[in-house]
Structure 1
Amino acid sequence: MTTLVLFGSFAIFLLLSVPIGIALGLSTFTTILYSGAIPLQFLMKELVTSVDSFPIMAVPFFILAGEIMGKGGISERLFKFANALVGNKTGGFAMATIITCMFFAAISGSGPATVAAIGGIMIPAMVKQGYDKKFATATVAAAGSIGVIIPPSIPMVIYGVVGGASIGDMFIAGIIPGLIVGFAMMLWAYIYSRKNNYKGSDEKTSFRYIWETFWDAKWALVIPVIILGGIYGGIFTPTEAAVIAVVYGIIAGLLLYRELALKDLPKLFIDSSLTTATILIIVGTATAFGRLLTIEQIPTQVANMMLAISESEIVIILLITVLLLLVGCFMDTLAAIIILTPILLPIGINLGYDPIHFGIIMVVNLAIGFITPPLGVNLFVGSGISGLSIEALSKAIIPYFLAMLFSLLMITFIPELSLWLISFGD
């Protein structure tokens, strides 16, 4: 009955449009009152101890780094370089937009932040180039989801903390899957553009022009190299890498690109603090919610139920995939990782999956949730920029959803795509 109260109250709060972090906390509080066997101090203790972690400190710093770099002239330079590579091809503007999102993903670690930073520039620019507004918005919203797959990734940090996995290995493992998802989206962008006669620019791309745009964007492109190289080279931890990203972003914006002024910093600090506060509330309440699940032995019950359905590894992993896709439609990515990792990771390990590979599967699954209604955060950000309705955007994004789903199946059933780069460090 306690389990029913926990999930029932959570569902009611969601139906009442209570924010996910508050809904998790209220449902936990309600269950504690109903149970009577758990002290009220349990909730307060979990809210504090869940965020009292050195690895968790990477989250606010990566958020701040993304805010700074989004305002420091980096987005425009990344696009110019991407456009120099593919701009003269059929659908070149769309493919350049996706590549730009992939570059920015290697800086921000956030899906919505990627959509906001790139969408404000690229959606109007694509429409001006003759692209359909729905396709342009869907392209940016979908490509923004790569923000949590290509490292650094905030969900990967949370998975590493909850699942006891190496955050550095998670970052390295996400590189190839992120590229696969990006290339799958570029393939659809090319097919759609060819069908609708969206030609590239008439300018012939020369090696000299590519080099010039590359050199102009070099301070942005070197950021992922510093972050991943430093982490995997043992020079600094992921948390320290996040701090370095902030310092580097300020230097690049103020001194190198000179598109960021000192007067801009207070607003960036405030915006990132608000985002961080929201995320840490979700982390705290989701941790308390998940701990209650463990007390009620729900993870064990779910694991036994899934393993009893079939002896086939393929059937079970597909069931897990369907579960994660459904959860991604209704629950915040970070909350889902905190709650479901203790439930699903033991099942994955029992099936023979490496914890790092399984973490990538979870992150890619839940990344799809950024573009699936009713939650679909990227859809709301894209809609806010373009003025399109969520319904129209949801239809336009279906082909990108299928591209991500195909990529997910590849990543799930070909472990080497996630683990190959890690093997070089062994």
Structure 2
Amino acid sequence: MGISVVGLAAIVMLAFLFLKVPVFISVFAGSITYFALTPNVPTQIIAQRVIAGIESIPLLAVPFFICAGVYMNYSGVTKRVMNFAEALTGHMNGGLAQVNVLLSTLMGGLSGSNLADAAMQSKMLVPEMERKGFSKEFSSVVTAASAMITPLIPPGIAMIIYGSIANVSIGKLFIAGIGPGVLLCLSMMILVSVISKKRGYKPVREKFIAPREFMSAVKGAALPLLLPIIIIGGIRIGMFTPTEAGAVAIVYSLFLGFMYREMGFKDVVNGLKETVASTASIMLIVGAASAFAWILTKERIPQQVTEMIVGMISNKYIFLMAVNVFLIFVGMFIEGNASMIVLVPLLAPVAAAYGINEIHFAMVFIFNSAIGCITPPMGTLMFVTCGITKCKIKTFIKEAIPFYILLFVCLILLTFFPVFSTGIVNLFY
């Protein structure tokens, strides 16, 4: 009885998601279906689980890092980091496209939000790329694909949510993200160089920047780029927790904003408003999904899934490949945070049963969620970027094919070579 009702609740949730109903309403509808059809289960539990789901101390880091990222955008940091990225890559084939990729990587340590990164670069870099002769489709694809790097570079919001759900060290997840982030950045820069050389996309300059100009660019970006080092170093030596690191990031971003004299009181207020709106949207999903996760736990679904999968699949690498295929399919239709909150309680115990390192599995899961952000039909990064650049979805998908292939290659490397995710963690800890 219980399992059949859970199945019906899952069908209701998926149906709502396919109809493009907001994610938190879709997940909440599935939970209500279960409680309505299950006798002797008080409906008050829904409210209790929603509140309990967002009361988690680690989740306090979410509004802190969102706020820090918003203030970084107001403080003029983006322009300075972009100048530094241009100084490093402007002489390469496809100069501005290379700047786009490197800027996403560097801003990943400052903003933590892939959508904010894609929106910012769609406004700042894509018009300039088009003026330099890049096609609108290529510029849009590079912007959306490189924004995928943002949630992998610490402090990514996805890592905070995953760590709070799976009870995994958020500090270790922050450090683990560096390997996959750098892998994706370097491989994407190589692909951009190959495509740019083939199409004749020119570099920004013929030679490497003059030493004096390079040092000027380094000087401008040095203080902003210290933030990830402060966060990781502070967590590692025990100076503060990941949650407290978020508060440190806010103070540091305000310091930079006022030091550069590009942030006023009005910007502080607007930044708080943006933080509240962004945090509310995430917490609504977290709360609704927490109620649904309670249902799965009550019906012992994770344990049954573990027994079934372990009975069917004997090799952990076959399991990981099956998870990859499943998560990519799910990512095509369901927003990343929602799928993470519902699926991590199901899949993390199975991975543990196979003896898969919890940090390695976390990075595989987060990387899959990131891929879902640019795959049709529901890719959020694809829609945000195309909405700003006015690129047609059809031409975007066609142009993105080489990038999709690259992402799958990187996913295979990350899946079969744990050193990409656990190597740096083992050095630090």
Q: 1:113: which partner in 2?
A: 116
Alpha-carbon distance in structure 2 between the residues aligned to 1:225 and 1:118: 24
Q: 2:67: which partner in 1?
A: 64
Give yes or no for contact 1:59–1:154 (8 Å, CA) kept in 2: yes
Alpha-carbon distance in structure 2 between the residues aligned to 1:327 and 1:71: 35
**2:192 pairs with 189, 195, 212, which one?**
189
| 1:175-232 Cα distance to aligned partner (Å, 9 max, x none) | 0111001111111111110110112123532232221101011121111111111111
Q: Where does 1:235-274 land on structure 2 (aligned, <5 Å)?
A: 235-255=239-259, 257-274=260-277
Alpha-carbon distance in structure 2 between the residues aligned to 1:14 and 1:344: 21
Q: 1:123: which partner in 2?
A: 126
1:75 aligns with 2:84: no
Alpha-carbon distance in structure 2 between the residues aligned to 1:350 and 1:31: 28
Alpha-carbon distance in structure 1 between the residues aligned to 2:395 and 2:24: 28
**2:405 pairs with 383, 402, 406, which one?**
402
Alpha-carbon distance in structure 1 between the residues aligned to 2:363 and 2:410: 12
The aligned amino acid for 2:154 is P
The aligned amino acid for 2:84 is F
Q: Where does 1:26-45 land on structure 2 (aligned, <5 Å)?
A: 26-45=29-48
Alpha-carbon distance in structure 1 between the residues aligned to 2:7 and 2:351: 26
Alpha-carbon distance in structure 1 between the residues aligned to 2:230 and 2:108: 15
Segment of structure 1 superposing worse, 396-405 or 102-111: 396-405
Alpha-carbon distance in structure 2 between the residues aligned to 1:3 and 1:53: 25
CA shift at 1:12, angstroms? 2.4
Alpha-carbon distance in structure 1 between the residues aligned to 2:386 and 2:192: 19
| 1:315-374 Cα distance to aligned partner (Å, 9 max, x none) | 211001111111111112112111111111122122221111111111111111111122
Q: 1:229: which partner in 2?
A: 233
Alpha-carbon distance in structure 2 between the residues aligned to 1:45 and 1:242: 27
Q: Where does 1:14-29 land on structure 2 (aligned, <5 Å)?
A: 14-29=17-32
CA shift at 1:80, angstroms? 0.9
CA shift at 1:30, angstroms? 1.6
Q: 2:90: which partner in 1?
A: 87
CA shift at 1:117, angstroms? 2.1
- What secondary structure sits across from 1:371 in the alignment? coil
1:99 aligns with 2:115: no
TM-score of the superposed pair, with normalisation by structure 2: 0.96
Q: 1:174: which partner in 2?
A: 177
**1:347 pairs with 346, 350, 360, which one?**
350
Alpha-carbon distance in structure 2 between the residues aligned to 1:158 and 1:201: 39
**1:338 pairs with 336, 341, 348, which one?**
341
Give yes or no for contact 1:371–1:397 (8 Å, CA) kept in 2: no
Segment of structure 1 superposing worse, 387-396 or 63-72: 387-396
- What secondary structure sits across from 1:424 in the alignment? helix
- What secondary structure sits across from 2:64 in the alignment? helix
Query: Alignment length, in residue pairs?
Result: 425
Alpha-carbon distance in structure 2 between the residues aligned to 1:281 and 1:202: 47
CA shift at 1:4, angstroms? 2.4
- What secondary structure sits across from 1:109 in the alignment? coil
Alpha-carbon distance in structure 1 between the residues aligned to 2:18 and 2:163: 31
**2:221 pairs with 193, 198, 217, which one?**
217
Give yes or no for contact 2:17–2:334 (8 Å, CA) kept in 1: no
Alpha-carbon distance in structure 2 between the residues aligned to 1:215 and 1:23: 48
Alpha-carbon distance in structure 1 between the residues aligned to 2:185 and 2:394: 24
- What secondary structure sits across from 1:50 in the alignment? helix
Alpha-carbon distance in structure 1 between the residues aligned to 2:261 and 2:41: 55
The runs of at least 4 aligned residues of structure 1 exceeding 4 Å deviation read none
- What secondary structure sits across from 1:283 in the alignment? helix
1:136 aligns with 2:156: no
Segment of structure 1 superposing worse, 209-218 or 392-401: 392-401
- What secondary structure sits across from 2:291 in the alignment? helix
Alpha-carbon distance in structure 1 between the residues aligned to 2:125 and 2:331: 26
| 1:291-335 Cα distance to aligned partner (Å, 9 max, x none) | 111222222232233223332222211001111111111112112
The aligned amino acid for 2:241 is T
Alpha-carbon distance in structure 1 between the residues aligned to 2:392 and 2:295: 38
Give yes or no for contact 1:156–1:170 (8 Å, CA) kept in 2: yes
- What secondary structure sits across from 2:168 in the alignment? coil
The aligned amino acid for 2:250 is V
CA RMSD, Structure 1 to Structure 2 (Å) = 1.3
CA shift at 1:170, angstroms? 0.5
Alpha-carbon distance in structure 2 between the residues aligned to 1:94 and 1:88: 11
Give yes or no for contact 1:181–1:407 (8 Å, CA) kept in 2: yes
- What secondary structure sits across from 1:108 in the alignment? coil
Alpha-carbon distance in structure 2 between the residues aligned to 1:404 and 1:108: 22
Give yes or no for contact 1:160–1:167 (8 Å, CA) kept in 2: yes
CA shift at 1:16, angstroms? 3.1
**2:317 pairs with 314, 319, 334, which one?**
314
The aligned amino acid for 1:131 is F
- What secondary structure sits across from 2:121 in the alignment? helix
1:368 aligns with 2:360: no
TM-score of the superposed pair, with normalisation by structure 1: 0.97
Identity %: 35
Q: 2:205: which partner in 1?
A: 202
Q: 1:382: which partner in 2?
A: 385
Give yes or no for contact 1:329–1:374 (8 Å, CA) kept in 2: yes
Give yes or no for contact 1:168–1:238 (8 Å, CA) kept in 2: yes
